[in-house]
Amino acid sequence: MRTILYLIRKEFIQIFRNKFISKAIFAVPIVQMLILVPAVTFELKNVDIVIIDKDLTPESRGLISKLAGSTFFRISGKTWSEKEAENLMLHNKCDIILHIPDEFGMNIGNGKPAVLQAGIDAINSSSAQLSWAYINGIIRDYNSDITIDNISTSGVSSFPIIDITNRYWYNEELNYKYYMLPGILVILVTAIGFLLAGLNMVREKEIGTIEQINVTPVRKHQFIIAKMVPFLLIGLIDLGVGLSIGKLAFNIPFEGSILLMFLGAAIFLIAVLGLALFLSTFSGSQQQYMFVAFFCMIIFILMSGIFTPYESMPQWAQDFNLINPVAYLMRINRMVMLKGSSMNDISGELISLGVIAVCFSTFAVRRYRKTA
């Protein structure tokens, strides 16, 4: 135990002598939280729409006013030329072209089906689907208003209407920052543990100081543990800094146990540090390790469910996430922070993370070679 403590002390001295690592430890969480949380969002706002109104009736103007009053759409222009509207979309001046034909108002007055045509820029398929859902909802509401007005003017006193009241659980304000911040915290902890620990190991190879350890009777598991502990503590400190920034800057709610969240993060860091040290044994330079580390980080993060729901992924991707530690911590953070989940609710994720941590750490110990 005394040997490990001396090695840990040596690691801390070495870490804080490195100006880049010492600055990155505290600069990364501040910059990452303040920039990524408000910037990374899938919320769709200010969709530019061009109107081709060939009807010019109160009915068409009523529909246009509903669109203008929406928080999602911004009427960027009106025209009578389809070619001009298509040219605007071609040059990214609008996202939707809404064509109102000349018999729109008359058909509504006569009780006939009225036809509209919406052309949507679908280069980004998710944005196109959301845009269609929003505009379809506005048209549906407008249609309901017309139906109710017609019933009122026809003298019918009673008409069966289904009134739906909804309630959003765990994020009642539908604030996307509440959803993204737990994921950004995972990226923060991953970057600290995965990048800095591996770079620190490879840097010792480059400057030759690791040879001084190799000729001592220090055991391999003692060396790996000493390499893990400083970055484990630094990662947890950065997690605390990130949570503080989230609360102070964005008023992010925290419904669960902070100790439970730090427990999940600690197990996750052991897994990530084990993988980082395992990969560093194959790298002869910091450039080599950075290339491999970025490759692994991009795959782990993008497949973790930070942007795409886990259930929407193909089956092979869901199977891959069984060995993806980032996916487990992503779920743990969101469940603890937003749902207030208890130990029983996330026990499966914690056990899986623990198994991954043991496996990766074992790989690192077995792969490390002491060469004098």
Cβ pair 276, 367 in contact under 8 A: no
d(CA 30, CA 240): 11
The sheet carrying 47-53 orders its strands as: 73-79, 47-53, 96-100, 117-120
Q: What is the DSSP string of 205-255?
A: HHHTTHHHHHTSS--HHHHHHHHHHHHHHHHHHHHHHHHHHHHHHH-----
Check residues 18 and 322 and name the one with the higher pLDDT. Answer: 322
Task: State the average pLDDT over residues 261-275.
Answer: 94
Which one of 66-75, 144-153, 157-166 scores highest in mean pLDDT? 66-75
Sign of CA dihedral 7, 9, 10, 12: positive
Residue 208 in tokens: 């030759």
Closest CA to 124 of 96, 103, 149, 146: 96
Q: Left (φ > 0), alpha (ψ -120 to 50) or beta: where does 174 sit?
A: left
d(CA 94, CA 75): 9
Indicate the pLDDT class of residue 26, thresholds 50, 70 and 90: confident
Query: 47-153 sits in which CATH class?
Result: alpha beta
Task: State the average pLDDT over residues 160-179.
Answer: 75
Task: State the average pLDDT over residues 247-261.
Answer: 89
Cβ pair 219, 365 in contact under 8 A: no
Q: What is the pLDDT of residue 350?
A: 94
Residue 110 reports pLDDT greater than 70: yes
Per-residue pLDDT reduced to its tens digit, 183-240: 889 988 998 888 888 888 888 878 777 777 767 777 888 888 888 898 899 899 989 9
Lowest mean pLDDT among 70-74, 310-314, 324-328, 360-364: 310-314
Residue 130 vs residues 71, 125, 301, 316: alpha-carbon distances, Å:
14, 9, 24, 27
Cβ pair 255, 182 in contact under 8 A: no
Which one of 20-29, 52-61, 139-148 scores highest in mean pLDDT? 52-61
Check residues 157 and 355 and name the one with the higher pLDDT. Answer: 355
Sign of CA dihedral 180, 268, 335, 293: positive
Q: What is the pLDDT of residue 155?
A: 53
Q: What is the pLDDT of residue 221?
A: 82
Q: What is the DSSP string of 29-84?
A: HHHHHHHHHHH-------EEEEEEESS-SHHHHHHHHHHHHSSSEEEEEEES-HHH
Indicate the pLDDT class of residue 372, thresholds 50, 70 and 90: very low
Write the burial class of residue 358 (CB in 10 Å: 0-12 exposed, 13-18 middle, 19+ buried).
Answer: middle
Question: Structural domain boundaries of the chain?
Answer: 2-40+176-367, 47-153
d(CA 2, CA 247): 39
Residue 267 reports pLDDT greater than 90: yes
Indicate the pLDDT class of residue 152, thresholds 50, 70 and 90: low
Q: What is the pLDDT of residue 169?
A: 85
Kindly report the backbone phi and psi dihedral angles of residue 181, in degrees, each rounded to the nearest multiple of 5, phi listed first: -60, -45
Residue 300 reports pLDDT greater than 80: yes
How many CB atoms are located within 10 Å of the residue 293 CB?
24
Residue 28 reports pLDDT greater than 80: no
Helix and strand totals (H; E) in the chain: 15, 4
Residue 163 reports pLDDT greater than 70: no
d(CA 294, CA 305): 18
Please give the mean pLDDT across all residues of the chain: 84
Residue 160 reports pLDDT greater than 60: no
Check residues 371 and 139 and name the one with the higher pLDDT. Answer: 139
